[in-house]
Every structure is written in C-alpha cells, then in structure tokens.
Amino acid sequence: MITVTSAAGGVGRLLIRQLAVQNVPIRAVVKNAAQAATTRQDGATEVVVGDLRSAETLDTALTGADVLYHAAPTQIIDERPIIDHLIASGPPNGLQHIVFHSVIHPHLHQLTHHHQKDIAEGLLRESGIPTTVLRPSHYMQNYLEVWEFLQAGVMPYPVSPDSVMGVVDVADVAEAAANILIDPRSHTGRTYDLSTVELTRHEMAQIWSRVLGHRVTAIRIPPSSLTNSLNVLPALASVIGHAVRSTKLHSVGHLARGAQAASNPRDMKNWPPDAREAYRTMMTYYDGHGLPAGDLTTLPALLGHAPTSYEEFARRSSAERGRTPVDLHR
C-alpha cells in the first residue's frame, strides 16, 4: 500500500493517476468530501479525509502502508509536528519508506517555506527511516493562475520579469515520483533536484506569444499586493494598456475574468495570516533574486526521457483549456 498525502493537489492528483495505471493499491489523504470524490475518480483505492495536523488522521493514513509520499499544503507553515509524528508512528504501523516532497534550495532559510523543508529533511535523515527527497523547482503551472490575462495579452505576476526562475512541469514531477514509489529501495538516501530549465518571465511571455498568436507582455505586480490588494493599483494602467494594444476589444472579458480570479489567488484569503505573509516574503525574494534551477541532469534520468519544455507545457495547457495553439508550421 502506498499512501499519498495532499492527494487532491496539483502533484497529488497526477501521481494518483500514474500509480493507478500500474494497479498499485493507493491510499489518498484529502481534507474534505469533495476532494475524496475527486481522488476516487483519479484511481485511489482508499481515501482518508482529515487534517494532516491531526494525529488521528496521520495514524489512519499510515496503518498498513508500506510507502508514504508526503507533501504538505503551502498554507501549513510549521511542518515539524507532522514530521515528528510520521517518524514516531510510521515504523510501528509498518511504514518502510518515505518519499518527501521538499523544495529546490531548502538552504534559503530567509524563506519560511524553504527553511521548514530543510528542517524536515534533517529530521528524516536523522530518523533512520529509509527516505528519498524530491526538490522540485517553481512549477510551470503557477503561471496558469493568470490564464485569462494571458489570453488578453499580458502576464502579470508578483515577481520581476527579469528574475531568472528555474521551472518544472508538475506532470514530470508526478511521473518521477511514481517511478520512485514503484521501486523505492533503489532510491534510498537519495536527494533529487527536479528542474527543467531557467527562464525569465520575459522569455516565458515570448513563448506564450508564439502559442497564442498575439503579443504577450510580462508585467510586474508588487509582491506586497498579495497581502494588500490596493498595492496593485499602480500596475493596472500598464496591464490594461498592453492588453488593449495586443488584443483590442477581445481583452475586455478576459481582463474582467482575470481580475476576479486574481482577487483571491490560490484561495489565499482563507489561509492563516502567517501563511499569507510567508508567501508574500517568498515572492519578494524571487522578485529580487529569482530562483535558480537545480541540477538539470537529474530529472531526465528519473524520467527516462527529456522533460517537458516550457513551450510544450504552454501548448498542452492551451489545448486543455480549449484554446487551439498556433501551428508553428502554417
């Protein structure tokens, strides 16, 4: 039995599907009944509904599981109690291996999310439980949060367009994780960077321009707007101006829908204040420093093929959303 926490998340859903295709018994851990229904459709054999911060939830998730894939939601700031409980209760319940979903460059201790992952990695190393650590880069899918804006011809984001970001496709992360979970023993004690390419958002916008067939302009939104929406106002004129020049009247509907989605990105209004502040701090760091990729040779080796390029990701994502990508050969 493989237990997958955060099974309704971006990686979790794809991971459940990858494992289900291989007829592996899967126990999915989700937070509510709606997510339970979704993960069953994805192929989960068993479902545990609860809060990862609950000892009862963790014990139910661990009982009879041989391998655990653990990923904590971004809004959980202090992950140590969860890791402590996994270490204490996992082996007595039969757990033999943990695959831990960390983050690229956990040594960046000025960022709460990165620091917490570094602490968790250390605790797992010291526990003696066979462990494999995955360190994914910034997800390509994060920029789909501004999908409506992209269709209007703009790519606003709370990070400078000049910052270099290492990125990776969530689908590749899930595939690599599935390959490891099927044969965890051969990956014991290993730490893997999961990175595909380094790009600025200007370069991403150029790719979206080719895919969508109209000019897309990358625009910086102040990271402070994540916790104070009024701080976005100075950037609005630039967003609207570039959109109208790119897609004219077609931009109006996309801008309106994009603004509605941007009013509560990732459901952040329901996050605790410390989680919102940690996310703002993280974006502020990326704004000024970017986030370099890790070892680019690791992911191809885990996949057994080349990882998804940013343009391949953009074309696939456009098609999935009903927008036919521009044919490069026409």
Q: Which residue has the tokens 């319940």?
A: 93
Give the whole-angstrom CA distance, residue 24 versus residue 202: 42
Q: Is the pLDDT of residue 300 over 70?
A: yes
**According to the model, what pLDDT value does residue 265 have?**
81
**Residue 299, amino acid:** L
DSSP calls for 310-329: HHHHHHHHHHHTT-PPPPTT
Q: Is the pLDDT of residue 104 over 70?
A: yes
On whether the CB atoms of residues 67 and 2 are closer than 8 A, the answer is yes
- Would you place residue 75 in the very low, low, confident or very high pLDDT band (cuts 50, 70, 90)? confident
**According to the model, what pLDDT value does residue 329 have?**
54
**According to the model, what pLDDT value does residue 74 have?**
84
Q: Is the pLDDT of residue 48 over 80?
A: yes
Q: Of 30-44, 249-263, 285-299, which range is least confident?
A: 249-263
Supply the mean pLDDT for the chain.
94
Q: Is the pLDDT of residue 244 over 90?
A: yes
Q: Is the pLDDT of residue 45 over 80?
A: yes
**According to the model, what pLDDT value does residue 228 have?**
86
CB neighbours of 20 closer than 8 A, spacing ≥ 6? 26, 42, 43, 44
What's the mean pLDDT in 242-247? 94
- pTM of this prediction? 0.94
**According to the model, what pLDDT value does residue 164 have?**
98
Percent of the chain having pLDDT more than 70? 99
Q: Is the pLDDT of residue 240 over 70?
A: yes
Q: Are β-strands 138-139 and 154-157 bridged in parallel, bridged antiparallel, or unpaired?
A: unpaired
Q: Which residue has the higher pLDDT, 62 or 268?
A: 62
What's the mean pLDDT in 158-185? 97
Q: Is the pLDDT of residue 330 over 60?
A: no
On whether the CB atoms of residues 229 and 168 are closer than 8 A, the answer is no
User: DSSP strand E in the chain: where?
Assistant: 2-4, 26-30, 46-49, 67-70, 97-101, 131-136, 138-139, 154-157, 165-168, 191-194, 197-199, 217-220
**According to the model, what pLDDT value does residue 328 have?**
63
